[in-house]
Amino acid sequence: MSYRDENPWHFGRLGLLVASAIAYGVVGYMVIEGWGFVDALYMTVLALTAVGFTEVHPLDQGGRIFTISLIVAGVSVVVIALSIFARAIEEGGLGQRGRRRRMAKRIAQMKGHAIVCGFGRVGRTVVEELERDGVPYVVIDKDEGREHELLDGVSTYFIGDATKREDLEAAGIHRARALISAVDDDAENIFITMVARSVSATVWIVARAEQEESIDRLQTAGASRVFSPFVTAGREMAYAAIKQRVVDFIEVEAEHAAPLRLEELRIDSGSDLVGKVLGSVRGRATALAIRHADGRVEAPPSDEVTLQEGDALVLLGERDELRPLEQA
């Protein structure tokens, strides 16, 4: 799991060492000099902090030898503890630990989110789209050097390895609606897809393929959909050149008009839409097609069709019009 302290000097161990040094001094003064607890503690703190105040009581030879041993051993422990503590503050170690714990708690409460593996060029674009659509997400990236970028541009993340089962489970893969493998390396995307599919047989996996020959491998590994940025970009460029008006219509971003979106909504078990008539639930959105659970396709569907579990609707409309249907 990635939320561990990589520093070999854990703060708990340092605290135990300092407490042991104080206990050593208190017990020593109480046994050797016969002092009370408060006087022994006061003298121990004076010795460990080396402030140079006068002794509480005059020391005999045994007490002086003991004080030397306390200074040699105890002061070394205190100095080491303070230096490591100061370095942790300087490097943001304490804030980082707290921040990662908060992220872990936030992820544990998420449901129906998307898991984005990799925060490179493609991963950033994916995150921007998810935020635009209001979809909760978690970014997994194993490069700790990217954490400052994640802090600036990502709401929820953790530093981990998406090829590891435990890290995918920590990201909530069993509660996620989708996993997007957007790493720059095809071999790693294939491995992530294999592990993710072995962890969850139902999660929707969208994978990136840099090379065209990797598409079949990713599908074999268990990807639900595979996208090659270069192939997709080429197709969209050709489509934009041939179907200019259609592209303009779908991507309309007029100053006083909300952007239109093309969405596919699947009706799952328990959905509020099951058994309802299409015309009564679609609102102002336009139903372009419906694919029934038995494979039949109606394009365009009648407003009188009754929606059933397993149906998939293809709708065109504004984001605010489609969101109630997505929630249902």
Same domain assignment for residues 85 and 147: no
Determine contact, residues 277/305, Cβ cutoff 8 Å.
Answer: yes
CATH assignment of the domain containing 185: 3.40.50.720
pLDDT of residue 248: 59
State the pairing for strand pair 260-266/312-318.
antiparallel
Domain span holding position 156? 107-233
* Angle CA 153–206–287, to nearest 5: 95
Q: 74 pLDDT exceeds 70? A: yes
The CA distances from residue 64 to 34, 36, 52, 71, 221, in Å, are 14, 17, 14, 11, 72
178: nearest Cα among 214, 134, 223: 223
Helix/strand/coil for 297: strand
Q: 254 pLDDT exceeds 70? A: no
Q: 180 pLDDT exceeds 60? A: yes
213: nearest Cα among 184, 181, 186: 186
- pTM of the model as a whole: 0.56
pLDDT of residue 183: 93
CATH assignment of the domain containing 273: 3.30.70.1450
Same domain assignment for residues 29 and 71: yes
293 domain-assigned? yes
First to last CA, the chain: 35
Same domain assignment for residues 268 and 229: no
Number of domains present in the structure of the chain: 3
What's the rounded Cα separation, in Å, for the pair 159 and 262?
A: 33
How much is the average pLDDT of 159-167? 92
Using one digit for the tens of pLDDT, what is the confidence trace for 181-212? 999 899 999 999 999 999 999 999 999 998 88
- Radius of gyration from C-alpha coordinates of the chain: 31
Same domain assignment for residues 122 and 209: yes
Q: Which residues face 297 on adjacent strands? A: 291
Q: What is the torsional sign of CA 214, 216, 218, 221?
A: negative
Q: 282 pLDDT exceeds 70? A: yes
